Amino acid sequence: MANTVLVGAQWGDEGKGKVVDVLARDADIVVRYQGGSNAGHTLELGPDRYVLHLVPSGVLYPEKLCVIGNGVVVDPLELKQEAEALIARGIPLRGRFWVSDRAHAVLPFHRRQDAARESGAPIGQRLGTTQRGIGPAYADKAHRTGIRMGEFLRPGWEDKVRVRAQEHGGSDGKEMVALLREAAEFLRSFITDTTHLLHEQWKKGKAILFEGAQGTMLDVDHGTYPFVTSSNATAGGASTGTGLPPKAIERVVGVLKVYTTRVGEGPFPTELKDETGELLRRRGREFGATTGRPRRCGWFDAVVARYAAAVNGVDCWAMTKLDVLDECEILRVCVAYEYEGCRIETVPAEAEIYAACRPVYEEFPGWKTSTSSIHRYEDLPVAARSYVEALCRLTGVPLGLLSVGPDRANTFRLAL
Q: Which residues are catalytic?
A: 13, 41
Indicate the pairing of strand 300-301 with strand 358-365. unpaired
Nearest to ligand IMP of 95, 124 (CB atom) = 124
State which of residues 85, 128, 148, 240 lies at the interface with ligand IMP (CB under 6 A). Answer: 128
218 contacts ligand IMP (rule: CB under 6 A)? yes
Nearest to ligand IMP of 293, 343 (CB atom) = 293
For residues 219 and 238, give the distance between their C-alpha atoms in angstroms, rounded to a whole number.
12
13 contacts ligand IMP (rule: CB under 6 A)? yes
Which residues 51-70 are close enough to bind ligand IMP by CB under 6 A? none
DSSP string covering 69-118, please? -TTSEE-HHHHHHHHHHHHHTT---TTTEEEETTSEEP-HHHHHHHHHHH
Do residues 202 and 211 make contact, with C-beta atoms less than 8 angstroms apart? no
| Peptide bond preceding 226 in cis form (omega within 30 of 0) | yes
135 contacts ligand IMP (rule: CB under 6 A)? yes
Which of 337, 334, 333, 356 has its CA nearest to residue 345?
Answer: 337
Helix (H, G, I), strand (E, B) or coil at 255: strand
Do residues 49 and 79 make contact, with C-beta atoms less than 8 angstroms apart? no
For residues 221 and 354, give the distance between their C-alpha atoms in angstroms, rounded to a whole number.
15
State which of residues 263, 297, 325, 397 lies at the interface with ligand IMP (CB under 6 A). Answer: 263
Which of 194, 209, 197 has its CA nearest to residue 1?
Answer: 209
Q: How far is the CB of 229 from ligand IMP (least distance, A)?
A: 3
Nearest to ligand IMP of 96, 141 (CB atom) = 141
127 contacts ligand IMP (rule: CB under 6 A)? yes
Beta bridge partners of 331: 364
Q: How far is the CB of 13 from ligand IMP (least distance, A)?
A: 5
Helix or strand (DSSP H, E) at 343 = strand 342-344
Provide the residue count of the chain. Answer: 416
State which of residues 10, 12, 54, 97 lies at the interface with ligand IMP (CB under 6 A). Answer: 12
79 contacts ligand IMP (rule: CB under 6 A)? no
Binding track, positions 80-119, relative to ligand IMP; x by CB under 6 A: ----------------------------------------
305 contacts ligand IMP (rule: CB under 6 A)? no
Lateral strand order in the sheet of 191-192: 191-192, 97-100, 65-68, 29-32, 208-211, 4-8, 251-257, 316-320, 399-403, 411-413
Q: How far is the CB of 56 from ligand IMP (least distance, A)?
A: 14
State which of residues 4, 130, 270, 276 lies at the interface with ligand IMP (CB under 6 A). Answer: 130
39 contacts ligand IMP (rule: CB under 6 A)? yes
258 contacts ligand IMP (rule: CB under 6 A)? no
Q: How far is the CB of 372 from ligand IMP (least distance, A)?
A: 23
State which of residues 264, 277, 400, 406 lies at the interface with ligand IMP (CB under 6 A). Answer: 264
Nearest to ligand IMP of 129, 410 (CB atom) = 129
Nearest to ligand IMP of 198, 297 (CB atom) = 297
42 contacts ligand IMP (rule: CB under 6 A)? no
229 contacts ligand IMP (rule: CB under 6 A)? yes
Nearest to ligand IMP of 79, 191 (CB atom) = 79
What's 109-131 look like in SS3? HHHHHHHHHHHHCCCCCCCCCCC
Nearest to ligand IMP of 31, 335 (CB atom) = 31
Which residues 353-412 are close enough to bind ligand IMP by CB under 6 A? none
Q: At what angle do helices 157-167 and 174-187 cross, to 10 degrees?
A: 140
Nearest to ligand IMP of 16, 164 (CB atom) = 16
Do residues 215 and 11 make contact, with C-beta atoms less than 8 angstroms apart? yes
- Which range touches ligand IMP (CB under 6 A), out of 79-87, 188-196, 224-232, 329-337? 224-232
DSSP string covering 261-322, please? EE-SSS--TTB--SHHHHHHHHHTT-B-TTT-PBPEEE-EEHHHHHHHHHHHT-SEEEEE-G
State which of residues 110, 132, 281, 332 lies at the interface with ligand IMP (CB under 6 A). Answer: 132
297 contacts ligand IMP (rule: CB under 6 A)? no
Do residues 359 and 302 make contact, with C-beta atoms less than 8 angstroms apart? no
Q: How far is the CB of 192 from ligand IMP (least distance, A)?
A: 26
Do residues 240 and 249 make contact, with C-beta atoms less than 8 angstroms apart? no
Q: Where are the alpha helices (DSSP H) in 102-252?
A: 108-120, 134-143, 157-167, 174-187, 194-203, 237-240
Interface residues with ligand IMP (CB under 6 A)? 12-13, 38-40, 127-130, 132, 134-135, 213-214, 218, 227, 229-230, 263-264
